[in-house]
Amino acid sequence: MNEKHTRDGLRSLLGDNYDTYVAADVASALDVLQRDQIDVLLTDLRLGGEDGMNAECERALKLRIRRSAS
């Protein structure tokens, strides 16, 4: 999510009960997705000029499929 106050609010709300990762843009989100196993992904519809739903969700699914095949 590219708005800092939204990222901070979600981290504050969810951080006590869940491992929470935030990213300001698609590149940062992909870094997180490549490093860690993510079970739930919340994204902006528009993330840094890209379509957040298509960009992140499609890439996240591809990463998950590759991990499962390994």
Query: Which pLDDT belongs to residue 55?
Result: 63
Q: Of 65, 2, 69, 60, nearest to 32 (Cα)?
A: 60
Query: Which pLDDT belongs to residue 69?
Result: 60
Q: How many CB atoms lie within 10 A of CB 66?
A: 10
pLDDT digit string, tens, across residues 20-68: 998 888 788 888 888 888 888 887 776 666 665 666 667 777 776 666 6
With cut-offs at 50, 70 and 90, classify the pLDDT of residue 15. very high
Question: Residue 47, class by beta-carbon neighbours within 10 Å (0-12 exposed, 13-18 middle, 19+ buried)?
Answer: buried
Q: Of 64, 34, 63, 28, nearest to 43 (Cα)?
A: 28
